[in-house]
Amino acid sequence: MTAAVPARRRGRPPASEAGETRERIMRAALELFAHKGFHGTGVAEIGDRADVQRGALYYHIGSKEELLWQILADYTRLMLAEAEQITAGDDYPVTKLRKLIHSHVRLIIENRSAVAIQLRDVASLTGERARELQALRDRIQTLWQQALDAGHATGVLRTADHVVTNGVLGMLNSVTFWYRDEGKHTPGEIADILCTTVLDGLIQPRKSTKG
């Protein structure tokens, strides 16, 4: 006697299957947005690359803009979490700045496709999603500013002007445009070079004790 084949259940897919499908969609969107841009990528292309039919695609993502939000928010939250951990510690101000630079460079390189998408397509986010992402970015910048303020208040740094904060973050974010895996420097070595470049201009020279 042949065993009966269980009927396929209708309705929502199991959580594990839904999670795997969503992960494929996110990966496909990340690759396409990075290569073709948000506006240059069609929903159908994302579904084709992720091997998901269009109807099911909307069940998993809601909209193309929702995908953009999730890509940008995921890596921004990673940066925020590490910056919060570093700035909450008891390290010397210069040590905190070194750690912030190393963390930022490493995460920029690890997430450089998402960073490139943000630098090019962040204006495509609208409404509440745009405000939420900006709030996350503002919190990161505030933590950097607080680290600089603390160093300046103790006399270790010569300035804590917000222009410096904006400039340093802009310089670090630009790593995504020129970093190559086959380059001569590792991410850690790049961070060390940038630490030296930034801190040589910020650290207050020690006063001579000679009479």
Contact 105/169 with Cβ under 8 angstroms?
no
Residues 51 and 71 in one domain: no
Instruction: Quote the radius of gyration of the chain (alpha carbons, Å).
Output: 22
Q: What's residue 209's pLDDT?
A: 46
Q: What's residue 188's pLDDT?
A: 94
Q: Cα separations (Å) of 19 from 38, 40, 71? A: 23, 26, 15
Residues 161 and 188 in one domain: yes
Residues 70 and 161 in one domain: yes
Residues 41 and 119 in one domain: no
Spell out the residues 6+ positions from residue 2 whose beta carbon is closer than 8 angstroms to its own: none
Count of domains for the chain: 2
Q: Tell me whether residue 4 is in a domain.
A: no
Q: What's residue 117's pLDDT?
A: 94
Q: Report the first-to-last Cα separation within the chain, whole angstroms.
A: 104
Q: What's residue 61's pLDDT?
A: 77
Residues 111 and 53 in one domain: no
Q: What's residue 8's pLDDT?
A: 40
Q: What's residue 78's pLDDT?
A: 96
pTM: 0.82
Q: What's residue 75's pLDDT?
A: 93
Q: Print pLDDT tens along the chain (211 aa).
A: 444 444 444 445 555 666 788 889 999 999 999 999 999 999 989 989 988 877 777 777 778 999 999 999 999 999 999 999 999 999 999 999 999 999 999 999 999 999 999 989 999 999 999 999 999 999 999 999 999 999 999 999 999 999 999 999 999 999 988 998 888 899 999 999 999 999 888 887 765 444 4
Spell out the residues 6+ positions from residue 130 whose beta carbon is closer than 8 angstroms to its own: 122
Residues 160 and 116 in one domain: yes
Tokens of 24: 């494929």
CA distance 164 to 17: 47
User: How many alpha carbons lie under 13 Å from residue 142 in its C-beta half-sphere?
Assistant: 9
Angle between helices 64-87 and 127-153 (to 10 degrees): 20
Residues 89 and 186 in one domain: yes
- 3-state percent helix, strand, coil for the chain, nearest multiple of 5: 70, 0, 25
Q: Tell me whether residue 209 is in a domain.
A: no
Q: What's residue 15's pLDDT?
A: 52
Q: What's residue 57's pLDDT?
A: 76
Q: What's residue 58's pLDDT?
A: 75
Q: What's residue 113's pLDDT?
A: 92
